[in-house]
Amino acid sequence: MQIQVETDHNIEGRDALVAQVRGMLESSLRRIGDRITHVAVHLTDQNSDKEDGDDDMRCAIEAHLEGRQRIAVTHQAATVEQAVDGAADKLARLIESTLGRARHQEDRRSDPPLAGPTGTVQS
Distances (CA, A) of 122 to 62, 79, 104, 114, 115: 36, 53, 21, 6, 6
* Pairing outcome for strands 57-65 and 70-77: antiparallel
Determine the pLDDT at residue 44: 93
Determine the pLDDT at residue 99: 82
The domains of the chain, with CATH numbers, are 2-107 (3.30.160.100)
Distances (CA, A) of 23 to 5, 26, 53, 100, 115: 12, 5, 26, 25, 46
Model pLDDT for residues 22-48, shown as the tens digit of each residue = 999 999 888 888 889 999 999 999 876
pTM of the complete model beyond 0.85: no
Model pLDDT for residues 54-102, shown as the tens digit of each residue = 778 999 999 998 888 899 999 999 999 999 999 999 999 999 888 887 6
Determine the pLDDT at residue 106: 61
